[in-house]
Amino acid sequence: MSSIKQFQVTFDCAEPERVGRFWCEVLGYEAPPPTGFDTWADFDRSRPPEEQGAFFACGDPSGVGPRLFFQRVPEGKVVKNRVHLDVRVGTGLVGEERLAALEAECARLIPLGAVRVQLLYDGTDSCIVMQDVEGNEFCVD
């Protein structure tokens, strides 16, 4: 049995490039166009009209994090995500120092289009639940 070394996280969405570029900003990822194309726009122009803008991908420039893939689907988001990303900015921090790190990251993400939903705090551990530009939940942890 082989051991999986790489995986990607796939997002169903209405606007793949918009959501993908949001996550590039959040995570410091890059979105090189598909092989043989100078830009994503060049790639889209090469495809039939009904397939233009159908997907977008980005990845960790260091090669450590997973690739993110965004695909257009016809249905809208209806219920809470069953899987979500945690943006880990408070690892190893506790108390007020942790809350300050979470709040600073939340403040950075709001101008990118993220929406703050709620702070979850039980006296010792905390995270901030947010939504991306299409309403997909994620946590600043």
pLDDT at 4: 72
pLDDT at 79: 87
48: left (phi over 0), alpha (psi -120 to 50) or beta: beta
pLDDT in tens, the chain (141 residues): 677 778 899 999 999 999 999 999 999 999 999 999 999 999 999 999 999 999 999 999 999 999 999 999 999 888 888 889 999 999 999 989 999 999 999 999 999 999 999 999 887 789 999 999 999 999 999
53: left (phi over 0), alpha (psi -120 to 50) or beta: left
pLDDT at 1: 66
Query: How far is Cα of residue 79 from the mean position of the Cα atoms in its chain?
Result: 18
DSSP classification of residue 130: E
Contact status, residue 23 vs residue 132, Cβ threshold 8 Å: yes
Q: Which stretch of DSSP H or E encloses residue 116?
A: strand 115-121
Q: How many CA atoms lie within 13 A of 131 on its CB side?
A: 11
pLDDT at 102: 96
Name the nearest CA neighbour of 5 among 86, 66, 60: 66
Using the CB atoms, write b or e for 54-75: b if 16+ within 10 Å.
ebbbbbeeeeeeeebbbebeee
pTM summary value:
0.91
